[in-house]
Structure 1
C-alpha cells in the first residue's frame, strides 16, 4: 500500500472524507476524541459529522476519561473499558498500586463528585496516581474547559486483556497499517507492554475509500493529528514543523481535499489561518464557512484572517 493509499484509508476510517449524519456522533468518536482548549472535541466532531452543537461533548452517549497518554478523551460510553482498562499495566505491582489508588478514591469520595484538587489528597496529592487509578476503569471525570470533577464508579465487566486487544484494534482502525512501536507512542505505553498485546500479523481492516474532497479545520489534538508517523502525513520538513511545532502550543490544521494546506489558531472569535501556499478563492471561502460554522458559544461572529506563510 502506497503512502497516498494509507493516508486515504485513514481519512476514510476517521470520517474526514465525507461527513457523517447527525445521528452518527458515536461512530465519529470510535477511535476516541482527545479534548482540550478550545473545546477541541466539539471541533473534531464537527469535522466528521453534521449537526454538532456546543454541548455535544455532554451527550449521554459519551463519557470523559483519562485515556491514552493521560489526556482527557471523550469516548462512547460502551467503549470506556477499551480506553481505560486497555491501558492497565500487566506488571502486578503497578496494577496493584493502581487498584489501591482507586480504592482510596472510592473510600474518600463515596458517591460524591468532587473537584480534582479535592480528590488528589486521597492519592497522596499525586496527579500521576490519579491517572494510574483511571486505568482500572473506575474513575470518571467531567472537564468543562475550566475545572475537573472526579468520581468513582464500578469497574467495567470486561477482562483487561480483552480491553487491551480492543484498544489495539481501535488504533489500527484509525491509524493502520502501523507497528507496535507506533501503537506504544499513541497509547503512551512502554513498547514491551504493547508487544505483549500486539499480534505479529496485526493489520488494519479494509476501509472503503473515496477521493477526499472539501475543507476541514482540524483542531489541535484532533485524532488525525495524533498519528505516530507524521512524516507520512506531511513529508515536507518545514510544513511538518509548522503543524507540530516544538515548544509552542499546537495549532490546528487546514485540510484541503485530504491534504495539509496550512495551519490555524483561534483567539476568541478570531481565527487566523496561515496557508502553506496559494489557495483558490473557492477554497478560502469554504474555509471561512467552516470557521463560521464552528459549534462554539461565542459572543461575536467568527472573523477569519488570512496570514502570510
Structure 2
C-alpha cells in the first residue's frame, strides 16, 4: 500500500493539536504542556509557551517543584517535568564512546566543583576548561541541573536518572515525532543537535513504531499511533502569541510552516534576537516583540478584528508579573 498523502494544512493542524495550541489544557496538566520540553530565554519564553498551552499559569509556575531546568536539545536552556529528566538528558547522550567518556569526565569535574551547592555558571566553567560545550555535554549524563532566573544561570549536581540511555533516546524521538512529525532522521538531528548518524540509529531502533507518509516536501515518518489522526487532521483554529523558541517554531521544516522566504526571515532572522510569532487559525501571520509593558505586533497582511481582539487578549494575559497593563500596537510590514 502506498504511503498516505498529507497536505500542509493537515500537518500543521496535527502539530497544533498535538502541542495543545488549539485548546488549552486544564491547570492541573502543566506537565503535559511541557512534555516536549520548553526552551527558555528572554522574555521568559518557557513560561509564555506554557501559558499558550495550559490554563492557570502564573509568573512563578516555571519554578514549581514539578519542573526542573537542564541544557536540553541544541544545548538550549530547557524547562522539563522532573519526571522526564532522563528523556531530556540521557536521551541526548552521544553514542560515541569517546564523547560519552568526555561527558562523564566533565560531569565529574562539575560535581566536584559544586558539591551540594548551587554555583554560578561562570564560576563552574573553570572546572571544564572554560568550555561551555563541555558544560552542556556534562548535562547529558543526567547528573547536572541548572536554574536560569532571567539574570544568571546556577549549576547544581544531581543523581543520575535510573534509566537506560537507549530507552531515553527512543522516547525523545517519540516526543519529537508526536509534536513535530512527520519528519526524518535529519530533522531529528537538527532538533536535538545530535549527529545525523546518532539520529538515524535512534530512528532504526523505533522502526517498528513508525509509518511512512507523503507530504509536499517528500516522504516522512510518523508514529504509527498518530497516523490516523494525522491523515484525518482538520482545519486549525485559535490565536496565540508564541514566544521565541516556542516548540512549534522549532520544526526543522520551516518552509512548511512559512512558505514565503521573506516571512521566514522575519520569524527566524539570522544574527539577531528572534521575535515571537503571531499564530492564527494554523497560520503564522506576523511577529511580535515586547519591551516592558509594550507589545508590538507586525503582520504581513491585514488581520480581521477577531484575530486582533484575540491577540490582544493573549498579550494581556501574559503571566509576567508586570506592574502595568500590556499595551499592544499593530504595524504592517
- Same-fold call, TM cutoff 0.5: yes
Greater displacement, 3-12 / 205-214:
205-214
Residue among 219, 233, 238 paired with 1:214: 238
Matched, 1:195 2:200: yes
Residue among 56, 59, 66 paired with 2:61: 56
On the 8 A contact 1:112/1:151 being kept in 2, the answer is: yes
Greater displacement, 171-180 / 105-114:
105-114
Distance in 1 (CA, whole Å) between partners of 2:56 and 2:42 is 21
Matched, 1:162 2:186: no
Q: 1:210 to 1:77 in 2, by over 3 A?
A: farther
Matched, 1:106 2:111: yes
Residue among 87, 90, 114 paired with 1:85: 90
Distance apart, 1:210 and its partner CA: 5.6
Distance apart, 1:293 and its partner CA: 0.7
1:287-298 alignment to 2 at 5 Å?
287-298=311-322
Distance in 1 (CA, whole Å) between partners of 2:280 and 2:21 is 11
Distance in 1 (CA, whole Å) between partners of 2:99 and 2:262 is 41
How large is the RMSD of aligned CA atoms in angstroms?
A: 1.3
Distance in 1 (CA, whole Å) between partners of 2:305 and 2:173 is 42
Distance in 1 (CA, whole Å) between partners of 2:165 and 2:238 is 40
On the 8 A contact 1:17/1:211 being kept in 2, the answer is: no
Matched, 1:253 2:277: yes
Distance in 1 (CA, whole Å) between partners of 2:169 and 2:238 is 35
How many corresponding residue pairs? 309
Matched, 1:224 2:248: yes
Matched, 1:32 2:32: no
Matched, 1:22 2:27: yes
Gaps of 5+ in 1: none
Distance in 1 (CA, whole Å) between partners of 2:67 and 2:125 is 25
Gaps of 5+ in 2: 1-5, 211-221
Matched, 1:272 2:296: yes
State the TM-score, normalized to the length of structure 2. 0.90
Which residue of structure 1 lines up, in the alignment, with residue 50 of structure 2? 45
On the 8 A contact 1:231/1:240 being kept in 2, the answer is: yes
